[in-house]
C-alpha cells in the first residue's frame, strides 16, 4: 500500500526460508534504506555486488544483471520492481531485467507498491495529490505465480515513520505533511486490498498469518462465473487528458474480463506524420504498456466511423470522455452520446467523468 510497510523485510524473510530448504538463493538487488531491521534480515544471504552505473555526471547503484545471470542462482531477490534504470543499463526498467532472469530459468521474488501500477496512476494522484512517475505494466503483476499483500494500518505505518523506521529523521516532517497523511494511507490501503481482490478474480484468497494475504494461481475456483463475450471500445485522443480515460477503460475491461480497443479518428487536416507526433507516441506507449489495441484512422465523420469500427470489433461497450461544453447553435444539435446511441443500438455507452475537476484540477 505504501513505502515502509515491510515489503523488503518480508522478501528477505521469504529468501531466508527458501535458503533453509536447500535452495540456492542470492540477493540480486537490495534497497535497505538504512533500516537496521531490514539490513539484519539480509545477513546470511549471498549478495551480488551492485553495479555503479553512470547517470549524467553522477553514478547510481543498479542491479548487475550480467553478474546475476552469470551466477545463475535458483532464486533471486530483486527489490523495487518499478525502478527506472540508469541510462547506460541494458534495460530501461528493472522489471525488464527480471523478465531476463525469468527467461534464464531463475525464480524471482520482488517488491512493488500499489501506486506503481500504471492503470492506477490517475487514481493515486487523485487520492494523494502526488503523481507517481515510476510505473510498471499491470500485466507484470498478473504474470506472478503468487502475490503477497503486506498490509499495515495507517496508524501503525505513521508510528513506524515517527520512530525513524521508514525515512531518516530529517525527512519525517515533510512526509507526514504530504504523502503520509492518514487519509492518504487509508485510501491507498483500500486500493491495495481492492487490487488484490481483482487480481485473484476467480482465485482463492489465503491467509498467511497476521494480515498477510496471498493469491495463488494454482488455487483456481472453476465455479466462479466469468464475463463472456464483452468487448470495450474507448474513444480517445492524443490529448494528455485522454490518458485518464485510457486507464479507466483498461480497468473496466479487467473487471469485465473483456478485451479493450482504443480508437482515435485523426482529422484530415492533421498533415504531419503521425509517427513523428509526440502526443500520438505517448498515447501509443500507454496503450502498449496496458496491452490495449490502438486503432487510428483518418476521417471527419466520427459517429459513422465509430459505428463501423464497433461492428467490426464486436464492441459491447463504448467509453467516451466528458463532452465539451457546447455553445451557440451547437446546443440545438443532438449530443455525441445521443448520436452514438442511435448509431450503435444494443451497445452500452459510458461517459467517464473527469475527477480532476473535483479536486480543483
CA 51 – CA 67 distance, rounded (Å): 9
Q: What is the pTM of this model?
A: 0.68
CA 291 – CA 173 distance, rounded (Å): 40
Which contiguous run of DSSP H or E holds residue 20? helix 7-20
54 has which bridge partners?
59
Are 242 and 284 spatial neighbours (Cβ–Cβ below 8 Å)?
A: no
The two beta strands, 146-150 and 212-220, are: antiparallel
User: Residue 169 contacts by C-beta under 8 Å, 6 or more apart in sequence?
Assistant: none
User: What are the cell numbers at 200?
Assistant: 485473484
Per-residue pLDDT of the chain (361 residues; tens, 9 = 90+): 899 999 999 999 999 999 999 999 999 999 877 888 889 999 999 999 999 887 777 888 999 999 999 999 999 999 999 999 998 899 999 999 999 999 999 999 999 999 999 988 888 888 888 888 899 998 898 889 888 888 889 999 999 999 888 888 888 999 888 889 999 999 899 889 888 877 665 344 433 333 445 554 433 333 333 334 689 999 999 888 888 899 999 988 888 888 899 999 988 866 556 656 888 888 998 998 888 999 999 888 999 999 999 998 889 999 998 877 666 555 667 888 889 999 998 899 999 876 555 454 4
CA 329 – CA 187 distance, rounded (Å): 44
The predicted pLDDT at position 193 comes to 87
The predicted pLDDT at position 356 comes to 52
Torsion of CA 102, 23, 71, 59, to 10 degrees: 80
User: Residue 331 contacts by C-beta under 8 Å, 6 or more apart in sequence?
Assistant: none
Sequence length of the chain is: 361
SS (H, E, C) the chain: CCCCCCHHHHHHHHHHHHHHCCCCEEEEECCCCCCHHHHHHCCCCEECCCEEEEECCEEEEECCHHHHHHHCCCEEEECCCCCECCCCCCCCEHHHHHHHHHHCCCEEEECCCHHHEHHHHHHHHHHHCCCCCCCECHHHHHCCCEEEEECCCHHHHHHHHHCCCCCCHHHHHHHHCCCCCHHHHHHHHHHHHHHHHHHHCCEEEEECCCCEEEEEEEEECCCCCCCCCCEEEEECCCCCCHHHHHHHHHHHHHHHCCEEEEEEEECCCCCCCHHHCHHHHHHHHHHHHHCCEEEEEECCCHHHHHHHHHHHHCCCEEEECCCCCCCHHHHHCCCHHHHHHHHCCCCEEEECCCHHHHHCC
**Domains of the chain, with CATH numbers?**
7-220 (3.40.50.300), 231-359 (3.40.50.620)
Amino acid at each position: 500500500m505504501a513505502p515502509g510497510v515491510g515489503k523488503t523485510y518480508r522478501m528477505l524473510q521469504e529468501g531466508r526460508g527458501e535458503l533453509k530448504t536447500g535452495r540456492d538463493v542470492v540477493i540480486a538487488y537490495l534497497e535497505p534504506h538504512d533500516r537496521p531491521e531490514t539490513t539484519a534480515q539480509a545477513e546470511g544471504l549471498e549478495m551480488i555486488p551492485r553495479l555503479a552505473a553512470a547517470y549524467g555526471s553522477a553514478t547510481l547503484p543498479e542491479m548487475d544483471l550480467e553478474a546475476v545471470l552469470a551466477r545463475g542462482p535458483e532464486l533471486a531477490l530483486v527489490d523495487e520492481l518499478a525502478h527506472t534504470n540508469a541510462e547506460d543499463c541494458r534495460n530501461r526498467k528493472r522489471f525488464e531485467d527480471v523478465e531476463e532472469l525469468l527467461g534464464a530459468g531463475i525464480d524471482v521474488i520482488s517488491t512493488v507498491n500499489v501506486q506503481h501500477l500504471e492503470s492506477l496512476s490517475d487514481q493515486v494522484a487523485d487520492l494523494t495529490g502526488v503523481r507517481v512517475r515510476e510505473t510498471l505494466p499491470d500485466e507484470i503483476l498478473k504474470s506472478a505465480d503468487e502475490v503477497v499483500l503486506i498490509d499495515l494500518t495507517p496508524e501503525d505505518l505513521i508510528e513506524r515513520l515517527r520512530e525513524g523506521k521508514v525515512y531518516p529523521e530529517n525527512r519525517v516532517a515533510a512526509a507526514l505533511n504530504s504523502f503520509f497523511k492518514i487519509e492518504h494511507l487509508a485510501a491507498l490501503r483500500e486500493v491495495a486490498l481492492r487490487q488484490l481482490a481483482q487480481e485473484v478474480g476467480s482465485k482463492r484468497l489465503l491467509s498467511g498469518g497476521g494480515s498477510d494475504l496471498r493469491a495463488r494461481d494454482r488455487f483456481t475456483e472453476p465455479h466462479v462465473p466469468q464475463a463472456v463475450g464483452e468487448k470495450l471500445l474507448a474513444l480517445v485522443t492524443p490529448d494528455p487528458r485522454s490518458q485518464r480515460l485510457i486507464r479507466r477503460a483498461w480497468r473496466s475491461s479487467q473487471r469485465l474480463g473483456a478485451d479493450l480497443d482504443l480508437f482515435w479518428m485523426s482529422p484530415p487536416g492533421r498533415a504531419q506524420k503521425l509517427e513523428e507526433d509526440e502526443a500520438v507516441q505517448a498515447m501509443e506507449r500507454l496503450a502498449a504498456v496496458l496491452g490495449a489495441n490502438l486503432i487510428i484512422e483518418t476521417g471527419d465523420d466520427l459517429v459513422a466511423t465509430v459505428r463501423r469500427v464497433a461492428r467490426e470489433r464486436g464492441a459491447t461497450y463504448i467509453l467516451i470522455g466528458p463532452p465539451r461544453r457546447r455553445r451557440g447553435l451547437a446546443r440545438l444539435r443532438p449530443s455525441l452520446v445521443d448520436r452514438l446511441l442511435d448509431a450503435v443500438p444494443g451497445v452500452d455507452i459510458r461517459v467517464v467523468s473527469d475527477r480532476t475537476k473535483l479536486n480543483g484540477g
